Structure 1
Amino acid sequence: MSFESNVKLTIALSNPSLDAEEQERETRNLLREIKDLDVESAELVAVAQTPQGSKAFGGFLLGVLQAEVSIANFKKLLGFLGDRLGGKSIELEVEANGKKLKITASSQQELTAALEAAQKFVAVG
């Protein structure tokens, strides 16, 4: 059985120099930009889904959003993230084909390597 499934991404932004409100604003801006791309869905992560040790703000996890995109548009989303988040500390969780890959990056170089790893992970399936 062969079918094209969607890829789920959880993106956690980490910027210790921002207060909670600034972090929330940055996350919402990123969410709005992702929604402008060709994604199936994109949303903030509700507190009900809170991983242990995470901070919540206004009913949502601080700095965390999720997006779901088709495999065909996954590369486009990764390219956008690479351009938009270069030099920022992020944690990215990619879920595809029933498997998960969790990667972190805190520089442009690490982000580039992380995005390449995510792309290979999805391609291998």
Structure 2
Amino acid sequence: MSSESNVKLQITLSNPDLDADEQERQEQETRNLLREIRDLDVESAELVVATEIPERAKSVGGFLVGVLQAEVTISNCKKLLGFLGDRLGNKTIELEVEANGKKLKVKASSQEELTAVIEQAQRFIAGN
């Protein structure tokens, strides 16, 4: 399948005010999430390399803390979004979705907001 028909997602566990211990826990949580996403049917999934660190973002070992990206086929995107809804419902997250050259960036900080964000992302992908 060509990369043009794939959807790219960047998931950011958003909390810029972490102390060192909390930052370490968030980094471990991000790595655990990455392992779980890799167990799904995704084309690729990895931590985001810190080439340019956005304002208020943190970097550990050359990777942005709490940020990962995945590439998935359109047909498997709903499965991944459902997984994120189940797994991250109580977290503040930012989700960037890129499909067919268009981007959608949304933020959620509760289960209700995350549900709405996932529905918005699914409509965005379906409209491409």
Tell me the TM-score normalised to structure 1 length: 0.92
1:23 equivalent in structure 2:
26
Instruction: Give the equivalent residue in structure 1 for 2:120.
Output: 117
Q: Does 1:46 align with 2:57?
A: no
Aligned-partner Cα distance in 1 for 2:14–2:121: 19
Question: Matched residue of 1:63: which SS?
Answer: strand
* Partner amino acid, structure 2, of 1:60: F
Aligned to 1:82: 85
2:108 matched to 1:105? yes
> For this pair of structures, how many residues does the alignment match?
123
Identify the residue that residue 33 of structure 1 maps to in structure 2. 36
- Deviation per CA, 1:69-118: give whole Å up to 9, x if none: 00010000001000000111000000001000000000000000000000
Shift of residue 19, structure 1, vs aligned partner:
1.4
Q: Deviations over 1:30-61 (max 9, x none)?
A: 00000000000000001115334321111100
Q: For residue 8 of structure 1, what is the aligned residue in structure 2?
A: 8
Question: 3-state DSSP class of the match of 2:51?
Answer: helix
Does 1:66 find its partner at 2:66? no
State the distance in 2 between where 1:49 and 1:117 align: 28
Q: In the TM superposition, what is the alpha-carbon distance from 1:4 to its structure 2 partner?
A: 6.3
CA distance in 2, matches of 1:54, 1:20: 11
Q: In structure 2, the residue corresponding to 1:53 is in which secondary structure?
A: coil
Give the Cα–Cα distance (whole angstroms) in 2 for the partners of residues 22 and 48 of structure 1.
Answer: 22
TM-score (norm 2): 0.90
RMSD: 1.6
Q: Aligned letter for 1:11?
A: I
Q: Choose 48-57 or 71-80, whichever is displaced more.
A: 48-57
